[in-house]
Structure 1
Amino acid sequence: MTLAAWVARAGRARPGSPAVGLGGETVLTYGALADRVARLAGGLRDRLGLAAGERVALAMANVPAYAEVLFGIWHAGLSAVPMNAKLHQSEFRHILEDSGARVCLATEGLAATVAEAGADGLDHVIAAGSADYEALVAGAPRDLEIVAPDALAWLFYTSGTTGRPKGAMLTHRNLTAMTLNYFADFDRIGPGDTILHAAPLSHGSGLWMLPHVAAGAVNVMPESGGFDADEIYSLIARWPRVSMFAAPTMVRRLTVHPGGGDTANLKLVTYGGGPMYVEDAVAALDRFGPRLAQLYGQGESPMTITHLSPEDHAARDHPSWRDRLASVGVADSVVQVRVVDGDGRPLGPGEKGEVAVFGDTVMAGYWRNAEATARTLRDGWLLTGDVGHLDEDGYLTLTDRSKDVIISGGTNIYPREVEEVLLAAPGVAEVSVIGRPHADWGEIVVAYVVAEPGATPHEGMLDRLCLERMARFKRPKRYRFVDALPKNNYGKVLKTALREMEAAREDSPAAAP
Structure 2
Amino acid sequence: MNPASWLDRAARRWPEAPALFWGEKQIATYRDFDRAAGAIGKALADKGVKAGDRVGVFMSNRPDYLIALYGIWYLGAVAVPINGKLHVKEAGWILKNAEASCAFVSDDISDGLEALTSSSGCSLISVDQDEFAAMKQGVSLPAPAIVEQDDMVWLFYTSGTTGTPKGVMMSAGNIAAMASAYFFEVDEVEQGDAILYAAPMSHGAGIYNFMFVMKGARHVVPPSGGFDAREILELSPKIDNVVMFAAPTMVRRLVDVAKHSGQTGEGIKTIIYAGGPMYLADILDAVDVMGPRFVQIYGQGECPMAITALSRADVSDRDHPRAMERLASVGLAQCFVEVRIVDEDGQELPAGQIGEIVVKGSPVMLGYWRNEKATRETIKDGWLWTGDMGRADEDGYITMQDRSKDMIISGGSNIYPREVEEVLLTHPSVREAAVVGQKDEEWGEVVVAFASVFEGKKVNAAELDKLCLDAIARFKRPKCYLFLEDLPKNNYGKILKTELRERLETMDKEGSER
Aligned to 2:146: 146
Give 3-state SS (helix, strand or coil) of 1:49's partner.
Answer: coil
CA displacement at 1:179 relative to structure 2: 0.4
- Alpha-carbon separation, structure 2, partners of 1:113 and 1:355: 41
Aligned to 2:450: 448
**Which residue identity does 1:384 align to in structure 2?**
T
Return closer, same or farther for 1:80/1:260 CA change in 2, 3 Å cut-off. Answer: farther
- Alpha-carbon separation, structure 1, partners of 2:339 and 2:127: 41
The Cα offsets for residues 329-375 of structure 1, whole Å up to 9 and x where unpaired, read as 11011111001111111111111111100000000000010000000
CA contact (8 A) 2:420 2:477 kept: yes
CA contact (8 A) 2:95 2:117 kept: no
User: What are the residue-to-residue correspondences of 1:4-23 with 2, within 5 Å?
Assistant: 4-23=4-23
User: What are the residue-to-residue correspondences of 1:233-248 with 2, within 5 Å?
Assistant: 233-248=233-248
Aligned to 1:195: 195
The answer on 1:167 being equivalent to 2:179 is no
- Alpha-carbon separation, structure 2, partners of 1:413 and 1:104: 24
CA displacement at 1:137 relative to structure 2: 2.5
**Which residue identity does 1:453 align to in structure 2?**
E
**Which residue identity does 2:243 align to in structure 1?**
S
CA contact (8 A) 1:63 1:225 kept: yes
- Alpha-carbon separation, structure 1, partners of 2:373 and 2:119: 24
Aligned to 2:158: 158
Return closer, same or farther for 1:210/1:278 CA change in 2, 3 Å cut-off. Answer: same
**Which residue identity does 1:180 align to in structure 2?**
S
Stretches of 4+ aligned residues off by more than 4 angstroms: 506-509
CA contact (8 A) 1:197 1:221 kept: yes
CA displacement at 1:113 relative to structure 2: 3.1
The Cα offsets for residues 44-85 of structure 1, whole Å up to 9 and x where unpaired, read as 11x211111000000011101011111111111000000011
Aligned to 2:49: 50
Aligned to 1:310: 312
Return closer, same or farther for 1:294/1:454 CA change in 2, 3 Å cut-off. Answer: same
- Alpha-carbon separation, structure 1, partners of 2:446 and 2:342: 30
- Alpha-carbon separation, structure 2, partners of 1:56 and 1:469: 24
Aligned to 2:294: 292
Give 3-state SS (helix, strand or coil) of 2:89's partner.
Answer: helix
- Alpha-carbon separation, structure 1, partners of 2:80 and 2:326: 36
**Which residue identity does 1:376 align to in structure 2?**
T
CA displacement at 1:260 relative to structure 2: 4.8
Return closer, same or farther for 1:119/1:482 CA change in 2, 3 Å cut-off. Answer: farther
- Alpha-carbon separation, structure 2, partners of 1:376 and 1:304: 17
- Alpha-carbon separation, structure 2, partners of 1:289 and 1:75: 40
CA displacement at 1:262 relative to structure 2: 5.4
- Alpha-carbon separation, structure 2, partners of 1:105 and 1:507: 41
Return closer, same or farther for 1:321/1:504 CA change in 2, 3 Å cut-off. Answer: farther
Give 3-state SS (helix, strand or coil) of 2:95's partner.
Answer: helix
User: What are the residue-to-residue correspondences of 1:16-415 with 2, within 5 Å?
Assistant: 16-45=16-45, 47-118=46-117, 120-142=119-141, 143-257=143-257, 258-261=260-263, 263-415=265-417
For structure 1, list consecutive stretches of 5 or more residues without a partner in the other structure. none
Give 3-state SS (helix, strand or coil) of 1:348's partner.
Answer: coil
CA displacement at 1:169 relative to structure 2: 0.2
**Which residue identity does 2:76 align to in structure 1?**
G
CA contact (8 A) 1:339 1:353 kept: yes
CA contact (8 A) 1:254 1:260 kept: no
CA contact (8 A) 1:157 1:166 kept: yes
**Which residue identity does 2:246 align to in structure 1?**
A
**Which residue identity does 2:203 align to in structure 1?**
H
- Alpha-carbon separation, structure 2, partners of 1:65 and 1:75: 15
CA displacement at 1:173 relative to structure 2: 0.4
CA displacement at 1:500 relative to structure 2: 0.9
- Alpha-carbon separation, structure 1, partners of 2:221 and 2:285: 27
Percent sequence identity over matched residues?
A: 47
**Which residue identity does 1:246 align to in structure 2?**
A
Give 3-state SS (helix, strand or coil) of 2:270's partner.
Answer: strand
**Which residue identity does 1:146 align to in structure 2?**
I
**Which residue identity does 1:73 align to in structure 2?**
I
**Which residue identity does 1:442 align to in structure 2?**
G
Give 3-state SS (helix, strand or coil) of 1:357's partner.
Answer: strand
CA contact (8 A) 1:111 1:125 kept: no
Give 3-state SS (helix, strand or coil) of 1:504's partner.
Answer: coil
**Which residue identity does 1:130 align to in structure 2?**
Q
CA displacement at 1:118 relative to structure 2: 3.4
Give 3-state SS (helix, strand or coil) of 1:8's partner.
Answer: helix
CA contact (8 A) 1:335 1:357 kept: yes
Return closer, same or farther for 1:165/1:330 CA change in 2, 3 Å cut-off. Answer: same
Give 3-state SS (helix, strand or coil) of 1:346's partner.
Answer: coil
CA displacement at 1:484 relative to structure 2: 1.5
Aligned to 2:2: 2
The worse-fitting range, judged by mean Cα deviation, of 245-254 and 83-92 is 83-92
- Give the TM-score of the pair, scaled to structure 2: 0.97
The Cα offsets for residues 298-335 of structure 1, whole Å up to 9 and x where unpaired, read as 00001110111111011101121111121111101111
CA displacement at 1:292 relative to structure 2: 0.6
Give 3-state SS (helix, strand or coil) of 1:256's partner.
Answer: helix
User: What are the residue-to-residue correspondences of 1:449-468 with 2, within 5 Å?
Assistant: 449-468=451-470
**Which residue identity does 2:410 align to in structure 1?**
S
Return closer, same or farther for 1:342/1:489 CA change in 2, 3 Å cut-off. Answer: same
CA displacement at 1:506 relative to structure 2: 4.3
Give 3-state SS (helix, strand or coil) of 1:167's partner.
Answer: strand
- Alpha-carbon separation, structure 1, partners of 2:75 and 2:226: 29
**Which residue identity does 1:395 align to in structure 2?**
Y
CA displacement at 1:121 relative to structure 2: 2.2
- Alpha-carbon separation, structure 1, partners of 2:77 and 2:8: 16
Give 3-state SS (helix, strand or coil) of 1:263's partner.
Answer: coil
- Alpha-carbon separation, structure 2, partners of 1:73 and 1:118: 19
Give 3-state SS (helix, strand or coil) of 2:208's partner.
Answer: helix
- Alpha-carbon separation, structure 1, partners of 2:263 and 2:222: 16
CA displacement at 1:119 relative to structure 2: 5.3
The worse-fitting range, judged by mean Cα deviation, of 131-140 and 296-305 is 131-140
CA contact (8 A) 1:59 1:105 kept: yes
Give 3-state SS (helix, strand or coil) of 2:375's partner.
Answer: helix
CA contact (8 A) 1:92 1:117 kept: no
- Alpha-carbon separation, structure 2, partners of 1:92 and 1:260: 41
- Alpha-carbon separation, structure 1, partners of 2:321 and 2:34: 50
CA displacement at 1:467 relative to structure 2: 0.6
- Alpha-carbon separation, structure 2, partners of 1:223 and 1:171: 32
- Alpha-carbon separation, structure 1, partners of 2:217 and 2:137: 26
Give 3-state SS (helix, strand or coil) of 2:179's partner.
Answer: helix
Number of residue-to-residue matches in the alignment = 508
**Which residue identity does 2:385 align to in structure 1?**
L
Return closer, same or farther for 1:465/1:507 CA change in 2, 3 Å cut-off. Answer: closer
CA contact (8 A) 1:233 1:260 kept: no
The answer on 1:494 being equivalent to 2:496 is yes
The worse-fitting range, judged by mean Cα deviation, of 49-58 and 135-144 is 135-144
- Alpha-carbon separation, structure 2, partners of 1:155 and 1:332: 23
Report the aligned-residue RMSD: 1.3
Return closer, same or farther for 1:262/1:256 CA change in 2, 3 Å cut-off. Answer: closer
Give 3-state SS (helix, strand or coil) of 2:211's partner.
Answer: helix
Aligned to 1:505: 507
For structure 2, list consecutive stretches of 5 or more residues without a partner in the other structure. none
